[in-house]
Amino acid sequence: MAKIQSKRNSTKKEVIIEKASRLFREKGFGAASMRDLAEHVGVEAASLYNHIQSKSEILQTICFKVANEFMTNLEAVEASNQTTLKKMEMIIRVHIRMMLEQYEYVYISDHEWRHLPEPYLSNFLNQRRSYRKRLADIIEDGTAKGEMKAIDPYTAVLVILSAISGIDSWQRSRKSTTAEALESNMVRYLIEGLKR
Amino acid sequence: MAKIQSKRNSTKKEVIIEKASRLFREKGFGAASMRDLAEHVGVEAASLYNHIQSKSEILQTICFKVANEFMTNLEAVEASNQTTLKKMEMIIRVHIRMMLEQYEYVYISDHEWRHLPEPYLSNFLNQRRSYRKRLADIIEDGTAKGEMKAIDPYTAVLVILSAISGIDSWQRSRKSTTAEALESNMVRYLIEGLKR
DNA sequence: ATAAATAACTAACAACCGTTAGCGATGGAA
DNA sequence: TTCCATCGCTAACGGTTGTTAGTTATTTAT
């Protein structure tokens, strides 16, 4: 075996995906070229294909990595013994932290998924629909138990997820506010709107 | 003068921009080609240039049309004699309605602005920053007057605008809920989080 | 040391990109 | 009828796209 390890504890494939995530976020998937990417990796464009199969494979990897991470977390939350309000707070906090800590990946999964080729596109959208449905179910459950106000659960899910995904525009503009402050402010606003 | 009017009461340039908005939304600005667009207009790609100057001119037109519409509305609201809470509700409702009625335009202005060439890009971002600042000022004013709870105004602006911009994912998936229901649900959630 | 595997390189392909040049058809104004 | 602006067309430009072929260099395993 030749070296499959780069300087850090990561495969070259992982390095490529990491650099790509930055590039895709900055320029958009369509406008980012493989020659662009290659330059950032420090290699010729053709050499990338020793590690990846195609440009869209990179996008697939990123999108499903993020989707799986959220889904795994949701399952843990669902299985936990918490009030529905607390469950929602846990989910909101994870979303905010993922957005702050894995900004590039989450951003791409949020904004560039339409460039996924079939059948991955359908797969991704199904997974997303299912995720939102299960979130809405938690809220509906909370309303039924009288823990939350009677709000349309789909609207709530929409507001919550969209609000968090909007942190990207904060990322670029308001480095002055700390991440912790943002998280607590946002949780407060979003959870307060759920309490009865 | 030859005919500058199309069948409806709109310039051919307007028809192009309308078709382009659909295309840009579906494929993204970068991935939508002029030949694509020409086909939808029913003309050869080169003929488009009898009516427009460049591909990015279309994007500029759309982005600034939307931005100006929002800015004009904001000025009207600022000048009105209303409680700050009512002002915010008016703004929120206009945003939701614009999103529902001019979906393609608003979506593009929200998501494709990064492909604007300079100096339009800086212009657009300045205008956006100014818009959000003035929104935050209204909220801060409301807090100072005791009409609203003491929430970080930038966080509130972020949550509100992002939540509304997320309606796009509802557009595609939940035609069952009426627009009116969505609007009232969303206003309720967002305004409720502001009340003290 | 030798063989095998891995990953870099150069060159090139076919397709597509936005855009321009130039030409013919059309239709209203004089 | 003559004139001229408008708008459609075809052809083509120079450049970029993702990707493959073929080859060489490098590293690891035996």
User: How far is it, in rounded angstroms, from Cα A50 to Cα B159?
Assistant: 43
Shared domain check, A21 and A90: no
CA at B44, C1' at C22: how many angstroms apart?
16
Strand C contacts (Cβ < 7 A) comprise: A 1-4, 12, 43-47, 50-51; B 1-3, 32-36, 45-46, 48-49, 54-56
Distance A164 CA to D18 C1' (A): 34
Distance, in Å, from the CA atom of A140 to the CA atom of A144, rounded to the nearest integer, reads: 6
Determine the Cα–Cα distance for residues A131 and B169; give it in Å rounded to an integer.
13
Same domain, A33 and A68: no
Residues A43 and A65 in one domain: no
Percent of chain A's residues with pLDDT above 90: 74
Least confident of A76-80, B61-65, B118-122, B172-176: B172-176
pLDDT of A98 higher than 70 = yes
CB pair distance less than 8 Å for B182 and A155: yes
The answer on A159 and A136 residing in a single domain is yes
Residue A96 in domain: yes
A157 touches A136 (CB < 8 A): yes
Return the pLDDT at B185: 86
Residue A115 falls inside a structural domain? yes
B108 and B149: one domain? yes
Q: Could you tell me the pLDDT band of residue B174, with boundaries at 50, 70 and 90? A: low
> In chain A, what's the furthest Cα-to-Cα distance?
61
Residues A41 and A71 in one domain: no
Residue of A27, A115, A192 with shortest CB distance to B193: A192
Distance CA A126, CA A149 (A): 29
Examine the pLDDT at A52 and tell me if it is beyond 80: yes
Residue A42 belongs to domain spanning? 12-50
Mutation pick from A139, A162, A168, A191 vs chain B, by most beta carbons of B within 10 Å, is A162
Question: In angstroms, what separates the C-alpha of A196 from chain B's closest C-alpha?
Answer: 11
State yes or no: pLDDT of B141 exceeds 80.
yes
pLDDT of A113 over the 60 cut: yes
CA distance B163 to chain A (A): 5
CATH (domain of B28): 1.10.10.60
List the one residue out of B68, B85, B75 whose CA is nearest residue B187.
B85
**Is A81 part of a structural domain of the chain?**
yes
- B-facing residues of A in 155-184 (CB < 8 A) are 155-156, 158-159, 161-167, 169-170, 173-174, 177, 181-182
pLDDT for position A1: 44
Question: With 70 as the cut, is the pLDDT of residue B56 above it?
Answer: yes
The pLDDT, as a whole number, for residue A174 is 59
pLDDT digits (tens, 9 = 90+) for B5-37: 444 557 899 999 999 999 999 999 999 999 999
Residue B162 tokens, joined: 């992002």
Counting residues of chain B whose pLDDT is more than 90, the rounded percentage is 72
Q: What is the mean pLDDT of residues A127-145?
A: 95
pLDDT band at B1 (very low <50, low <70, confident <90, very high): very low
Residue range A167-175: average pLDDT? 69
d(CA A172, CA A99): 13
The label of the residue with tokens 């995906």 reads A17
B124 part of a folded domain = yes
Q: Is the pLDDT of residue B178 over 90?
A: no
Grade residue A172 by pLDDT with cuts at 50, 70 and 90.
low
Q: How confident is the model at residue B171 (pLDDT cuts 50, 70, 90)?
A: low
Rounded CA gap, A52 and A37, in Å?
Answer: 12
Cα separation, B103 vs B22, in Å, equals: 9
Beta strands in A40-195 (DSSP E): none
Total domain count, chain A: 2
Summarised one tens digit per residue, pLDDT across range B74-131 is 999 999 999 999 999 999 999 999 998 999 999 999 999 999 999 999 999 999 999 9
Structure confidence at residue B8 (pLDDT): 53
Looking at the fold, whether B79 and B144 belong to one and the same domain comes out as yes
- What average pLDDT does range B35-47 have in this prediction? 96
**pLDDT band, very low/low/confident/very high, at A8 (cuts 50, 70, 90):** low
Are residues B162 and B93 located together in one domain of the fold? yes
Q: What is the pLDDT of residue A195?
A: 72
Q: Which residue has the higher pLDDT, B174 or B142?
A: B142
